[in-house]
Chains A and B, each alone.
Chain A
Amino acid sequence: MQSGTEFMKKKTKNQESPTKKKNTKTDHESSSCEILRSDCYRIMNEDGTVDAKLDPKLDKELLLKMYRNMALTRAFDERGMMLQRQGRIGFYVPSFGQEAVQTGTAAPLEKKDWVFPSYREPGIFLYRGAGIYEMLCNLWGNRGDLSKGRQMPVHYSFPDIKMFSVSSPIATQMIQAVGAAMASKISKTKEVAISYCGDGGTSENDFHTALTFAGAYKAPAVFIVTNNQYAISVPLSKQTGAKRLSDKAIGYGMPGVAVDGNDVLAVYQVTKEAVDRARRGEGPSLIECVTFRMGPHSSSDDPSRYRDEKMYQAWLKRDPIKRLKTYLESRKLWDEKKEKSLQEELKKMLAEAVERAEAEPAPDPMDLFEDVYAELTPQLKKQKAELLQEVELRGKFENTSEAFPL
C-alpha cells in the first residue's frame, strides 16, 4: 500500500502543463481531459514555489479570493474548536489541512451548480457565500439556524447558494448529486452537481451507487474524494486494497485523477477541467485529492491514539495555506502587512458574529412539529396540542443529555 506520504515524495509523472501534453492514448474516450489522465497532478512544490513553465497564472482576483477563503476556513475552524473546548457548543468538526481541497474545488463552480458536501467542508459553504452568522447559529442549533436546530453542529444547509443539507451517514449525498445532475440533464439547465466524500466514504454502498449511475447515464457530475488518510481512526491501508482511490473510476467508465490536495492551484485546475467537461455533456469524473487530516475527526476524537506521527510531521510542511501564501508573495500579490490586516479583519468579523449568534434563543418547542410534512397531519396536530398543554403545565424541561461521544 502506498501511503500518502510516500506518494507525495515521489516525482509525479506529469509535472508538465497538462494542456501541453498531447496525443496520449488512454482508456478514456474523451480527448478533452488531459489533466484527468495523469497519475497525480501537482503544480506547486512543497514550499509553495512554482516552476515558471507550470504556473497556470490564474487571475489575481481569483487567487486572492481563494487565499482569503482558505484563511477564513482555518479561522472559522479554530473558532469552532475553541467554542467547543469552552463548552459553549456541543460538538465541532474541523477541516484543518484540507482548506485547499475545499476552496480549490469550490472556485471553478458557477452559481447555478449544485454542491452535495460531506460534513468536513465548511470552506465550500464559505466560498459560496454562506452567512458566517447563520453558520455559527447552526453550531448552537438556535433560532438563527436555517435548519431550526434539528441537526448537529456543522450539518449546514443553505438552499439559496445550492449547498445541500449535510447528512451524517457517509456518501449518501453522492447518489443524490447524480439525481440533481440528471434533473439538470433532463431539464437542459447546464447545471453541474459536485459531491464529496472521504477515503472511508469510497467503501460505502452509495459511493458505488453514485459512480455506477453517473457512468451509465453520463451525468454532469463531479465526484471529489478527500483522501485525508483516515476514516476516524482507520488508516487508508485498512480501508481498501486499492492502490489509488482515483483508480476506481476506471470500473465505472469515467476518468479519474489523483491530485495533490494541498496544492490549491492543482486542485483548481483539475476540478475546472472536470466541471467544464461535465457541462459540455461529456460525463462525470472522479478526483482524488490526496491530503491529510491535520486535526481530530471531531471535537470528541483524540488522534494521538492512532495517528502516524511521522506522517503528520511530513504533512505539517505541506500546509496548503502557507504554500499559497508563498506563491502569492512570489507574484507580489501578498505581504506581511496584508496578512496582518486580513487576520485582524477575520478575527473581528468572527468575534462579532459569535457574539450575535450566541445570543439567539433556542427554537420554540412548537417548532418540533413543523417541516415533518408540508402540512401538519391530524396525528401531529394532536401531539402538538398535547405538548402545548404539557408546556403550560410544567413550564420548564430539564436537559440531562450527555456529551456526544463520537
Chain B
Amino acid sequence: MATLTLVQAVRDALMCEMTEDSRVVVMGEDVGVNGGVFRATEGLQKEFGEERVLDTPLNESGIIGMAMGMAVNGLRPVPEIQFMDFIYPAFDEIVSEVAKIRYRSGGGFTCPMVIRTPYGGGIRGGHYHSQSSEAYFIHTPGLKVVVPSNPYDAKGLLISSIRDEDPVMFLEPKRIYRSIKGEVPEESYTVELGKASVVRPGKDVTILCWGAMVPVCMKAAELCEPRGADCEVIDLRTLVPLDESTILESVKKTGRVVIVHEAPKTCGFGAELSALINEEAILYLEAPITRVTGLDTPFPYTLEHIYMPDPERVALAVGKVRNF
C-alpha cells in the first residue's frame, strides 16, 4: 500500500493499464513532456514513448475526434481535456459522435474510450476553470459518467472505465486532487461502475453527493450530529449508470433527503435524483426533497466561496429537512 493523492492515484491507474494493455494510449494538451498541467500523466511519456503518450495540437474537438477514430480502429484511448470548461469545442464530437456511434451503426462500430477531465470550483479559477457540467453528458444516451471522490476509488474506477466497452466521461474533482490522501494498493484493481458507496451510515437524513462535494457533506454530517441529525452520506461515484437501489434503500430508511452538487440548480442532476425519488419512494418521504447546489449564475471568481455549497449550508438544509 502506498499513500497517494487523488491525482497520483489517477496517474497510477494510467501506469497500470498502459503496462497491462498495449492498446491504451494517452493524449491531450501538455500531457507528454510536461506530464499534464496537474501532473496526472507525469512520467508516462518517458515510460511508454511519444506514440502512446501524445502531446496534441491545442484543439479539443481534435483531441476527442482523433481519440474516437483510434478507438474505432482498435486502440483504447484516454484523452485528457485540460479543464472541463474547455470541453465545449469538443461537445459535438462527444455527444453526436462518440456517444452515438454504437447505436447509429447498429453495434457495428464501437469506441471504448475514457475522456478524463478535471472539473469543479474552489481553486480560484474563475468561470473558465471551475465549472461542473456533468448534466450535459448525463443527458446524452451512450455515455457513462464517473466521478471519484478519493484516491482509492479514483484508481479503481479509472481502471474499470478503461476496461469498459463504452465511452466514459471521467470527471476528476480538481479541488481535492491533492488535499485528500489515502491508501492505494500498488497492484491493479477495479471498483465496479454503477455502484454507489455509503460513506457514512446514518438513520435520519440521506445526503446524496459525488466528487468534491463528498468531503463537504462528510463535514456537514459532523456538524449535524450534535444538532440532532444522524446523516447517511452516499457517494454516488457513477452518475450513469446510476445505482438507484442504494439511493432508494437509504431514502426508504430515512424519509428525508438532501441532494448536494456544485453545478447550477436548474436541470442539475439533483433534479433527476429528486424525480427518481418521487417516482419510486414518495410514500416514504417525511419532508420535501431539498437541493443544495451552485446558483443559476455563471461561476464567479471573488465570491466562489459563497457560490459553492459548503458544510454549513448543507448542515442548514439538513436541519430544515430534519425539523420539517
Contacts and interface: CB of A to CB of B under 8 A. Distances in A.
Contacts of B108: 146-147, 157-159, 165
A209 B102 CA distance: 23
Interface stretch (B50-58, B149-157, B219-227, B315-323): B50-58
Contacts, number: 153
Interface string A367-391: 0001111100111000000000000
A178 B166 contact: no
Nearest to A215: B57
A372 B102 contact: yes
A176 B68 contact: yes
B127 interface: no
Contact of A172 (B74, B97, B103): B97
Interface in A167-192: 167, 169, 172, 175-187, 191
B97 A186 contact: no
Interface string B110-121: 100000000000
Contacts of B54: 182, 217
A377 B71 CA distance: 22
A155 B57 CA distance: 30
B65 A176 contact: yes
A257 B66 CA distance: 24
A23 B189 CA distance: 60
Contacts of A164: 72, 109
B105 A157 contact: yes
A165 B69 contact: no
A151 B101 CA distance: 11
A317 interface: no
Contacts of B89: 205
B294 interface: no
B75 interface: yes
Nearest to A157: B105
A169 B74 contact: no
A371 B62 contact: no
A373 to B, nearest CB: 5
Given A175-B62, A186-B51, A371 B69 contact: no
Contacts of A307: none
Nearest to B56: A213
A145 interface: yes
A109 to B, nearest CB: 15
A193 interface: yes
Nearest to A370: B107
Given A186-B51, A206-B65, A213-B66, A150 B106 contact: yes
B65 A209 contact: yes
Contact of A183 (B75, B92, B240, B244): B75
A180 B240 CA distance: 28
B93 interface: yes
Contact of B104 (A155, A172, A210): A155
Nearest to A377: B241
Interface in B99-150: 101-110, 141-142, 144
B194 interface: yes
Contacts of A165: 101, 104-105, 108-109
Given A157-B108, A371-B103, A175 B51 contact: no
Nearest to B98: A176
Contacts of B240: 377
Nearest to A147: B106
Interface string B32-60: 00000000000000000001101011010
A158 B108 CA distance: 7
B106 A183 contact: no
B57 A212 contact: yes
Nearest to B110: A374
A148 B105 CA distance: 8
Given A172-B97, A186-B25, A372 B110 contact: no
A373 B144 contact: yes
Contacts of B52: 186
A365 B66 CA distance: 34
B72, B93, B241 — which one has the most chain A CB atoms within 10 A of its CB? B72
Contacts of B190: none
B242 A378 contact: yes
B65 A172 contact: yes
B59 A213 contact: yes
A243 to B, nearest CB: 26
B16 interface: no
A54 interface: no
Contacts of B103: 150, 371-372
A268 to B, nearest CB: 25
Contacts of B19: none
B166 to A, nearest CB: 5
B271 interface: no
28 contacts: A146-B106, A147-B105, A159-B108, A164-B72, A165-B105, A167-B104, A169-B97, A172-B65, A175-B62, A175-B69, A176-B68, A178-B65, A179-B66, A179-B69, A179-B71, A180-B69, A180-B70, A183-B74, A206-B61, A209-B61, A212-B62, A213-B56, A371-B102, A371-B103, A372-B102, A374-B165, A374-B166, A379-B241
Given A186-B25, A212-B62, A371-B105, 16 more contacts: A147-B108, A159-B108, A165-B109, A167-B104, A172-B92, A172-B96, A175-B66, A176-B69, A179-B67, A179-B69, A182-B69, A187-B74, A210-B65, A373-B165, A374-B110, A377-B241
Give 8 closest A-B pairs by Cβ, nearest first: A179-B69, A175-B65, A377-B241, A183-B73, A374-B165, A176-B69, A209-B62, A179-B66
